[in-house]
Amino acid sequence: MKESLRILEKYWGFKEFRPLQESIIQAVMDNKDVLALLPTGGGKSICFQVPAMMLEGICIVISPLIALMKDQVENLTKKGIPALAIYSGMSFSEVKRTLQNAAYGNYKFLYLSPERLETDLFQEYLHAIKPCLIAVDEAHCISQWGYDFRPSYIKISLLREALPDTPIIALTASATLEVQNDICDKLLFSTNQKKFQPSFSRPNLSYSVFEPESKQNKILEILKNVKGSSIVYCKSRKLTQQIADLLKLHKINADYYHAGLTNNERSIKQNDWINDKINTIVCTNAFGMGIDKPNVRLVIHYNMPENLESYYQEAGRAGRDGKKAYAVLLFDKKENENLYELINLRYPTPEKLKSIYLSLMNHLQVDAGIGEGQSFDFDISLFSFYFKLNIIESTYGLNALIQEGLFFLTEKNTKPSSLVFCTTKETLSDFEKNNPKFEPIIQMMLRNYEGIFDYSSAIYESLLSKSLSTPIEKIKEQLIYLHKYNIVQYTPQSDKSQITLLRNRMYSDDFKFDYISLQKRKEKHTERINTMIEFTANKIKCRSQIIGNYFNDITISPCGICDTCLNNKIENENKVGFKIISNKIITDLRKKNIDSKEVDSLFAEFNKKELWETLNFLQSEKIIDIDTDGYFFLN
pLDDT value, residue 495: 61
- What distance lies between CA 250 and its chain's CA centroid? 29
Q: What is the pTM for the complete model shown?
A: 0.73
Domain of residue 103, CATH code: 3.40.50.300
CA-based nearest residue to 357, from 301, 404, 425, 323: 404
501 shares a domain with 354? yes
Confidence of residue 85 (pLDDT cuts 50, 70, 90): very high
Lowest mean pLDDT among 264-268, 464-468, 502-506, 527-531: 264-268
Which residues, 6+ apart, have CB-to-CB distance to 535 below 8 Å?
209, 308, 311, 543, 546, 547
The vertex-296 CA angle with 294 and 300, nearest 5°, equals 140
pLDDT value, residue 88: 67
423 close to 431: Cβ distance less than 8 angstroms? yes
Residue 463 pLDDT > 50: yes
Which residues, 6+ apart, have CB-to-CB distance to 294 below 8 Å?
41, 320, 321
Which residues, 6+ apart, have CB-to-CB distance to 240 below 8 Å?
234, 256, 257, 258, 282, 283, 284
pLDDT digits (tens, 9 = 90+) for 192-242: 899 999 888 889 999 999 999 999 999 999 999 999 999 999 999 999 999
pLDDT value, residue 534: 95
Q: Percent of the chain scored above 70 by pLDDT?
A: 97
For residue 421, the surrounding DSSP H or E stretch is: strand 417-421
Cβ-based neighbour number of residue 443 at 10 Å: 12
User: Judging by DSSP bridges, how do beta strands 457-459 and 417-421 pair with one another?
Assistant: antiparallel
**Does residue 357 form part of some domain?**
yes
157 close to 149: Cβ distance less than 8 angstroms? no
User: Judging by DSSP bridges, how do beta strands 168-172 and 131-136 pair with one another?
Assistant: parallel
Out of 196, 213, 246, pick the residue that ends a domain.
196
Confidence of residue 412 (pLDDT cuts 50, 70, 90): low
| Region 307-332 average pLDDT | 93
Q: What is the CA radius of gyration of the chain?
A: 31
55 shares a domain with 133? yes
> From CA 13, how far away is CA 17, in angstroms rounded?
11
Q: Across the chain, what does the average pLDDT equal?
A: 89
**Does residue 519 form part of some domain?**
no
pLDDT value, residue 442: 94
Residue 558 pLDDT > 80: yes
601 shares a domain with 567? yes
**Environment class of residue 572 by beta-carbon count within 10 Å: exposed (0-12), middle (13-18) or buried (19+)?**
exposed
> From CA 586, how far away is CA 275, in angstroms rounded?
63
577 shares a domain with 535? no
582 shares a domain with 538? no
DSSP conformational letter for 505: P
Residues, the chain, total?
635
**Does residue 7 form part of some domain?**
yes
Number of domains composing the chain: 5
- Please give the full DSSP string across 209-268, using - where no structure is assigned: EE--S-HHHHHHHHHHHS-SEEEEE-SSHHHHHHHHHHHHHTT--EEEE-TTS-HHHHHH
> From CA 633, how far away is CA 338, in angstroms rounded?
55
Q: Which of 113-122, 266-275, 335-344 has the highest mean pLDDT?
A: 266-275
**Does residue 504 form part of some domain?**
yes
180-197 b/e (C-beta count within 10 Å ≥ 16 → b): bebbbebbebeeebbbbb
- What distance lies between CA 190 and its chain's CA centroid? 29
> From CA 208, how far away is CA 327, in angstroms rounded?
6
369 close to 507: Cβ distance less than 8 angstroms? yes
DSSP conformational letter for 272: H
Domain of residue 354, CATH code: 1.10.10.10
439 shares a domain with 297? no
Residue 428 pLDDT > 90: yes
302 shares a domain with 449? no
DSSP conformational letter for 155: G
pLDDT value, residue 415: 62
147 shares a domain with 67? yes
210 shares a domain with 110? no
Q: What dihedral do alpha carbons 254, 256, 262, 264 form, nearest 10°?
A: 20
536 shares a domain with 449? no
Residue 486 pLDDT > 50: yes
- Please give the full DSSP string across 76-87, using - where no structure is assigned: HHHTT--EEEE-
236 shares a domain with 301? yes
Helix residue ranges per DSSP H, 109-198:
120-129, 157-162, 177-186
277 shares a domain with 180? no
Between the alpha carbon of residue 493 and those of residues 84, 263, 455, the distances in Å are 21, 11, 17
> From CA 378, how far away is CA 373, in angstroms rounded?
15
Helix (H, G, I), strand (E, B) or coil at 162: helix
Lowest mean pLDDT among 9-13, 27-31, 91-95, 254-258: 91-95
Domain of residue 477, CATH code: 1.10.10
69 close to 87: Cβ distance less than 8 angstroms? yes
Domain carrying residue 346: 338-413+497-513
> From CA 221, how far away is CA 208, in angstroms rounded?
14
| Region 409-428 average pLDDT | 78
Confidence of residue 401 (pLDDT cuts 50, 70, 90): very high
**Does residue 521 form part of some domain?**
no
Residue 458 pLDDT > 90: no
**Does residue 449 form part of some domain?**
yes
CA-based nearest residue to 316, from 218, 207, 227: 207
CA-based nearest residue to 506, from 407, 410, 408: 407
Which residues, 6+ apart, have CB-to-CB distance to 374 below 8 Å?
366, 500, 501
pLDDT value, residue 413: 46
pLDDT value, residue 89: 63
pLDDT value, residue 460: 82
**Does residue 520 form part of some domain?**
no
Amino acid at 191: T
DSSP conformational letter for 303: S
> From CA 208, how far away is CA 225, in angstroms rounded?
14
pLDDT digits (tens, 9 = 90+) for 574-604: 777 788 888 888 888 888 898 888 888 888 8
Cβ-based neighbour number of residue 86 at 10 Å: 20
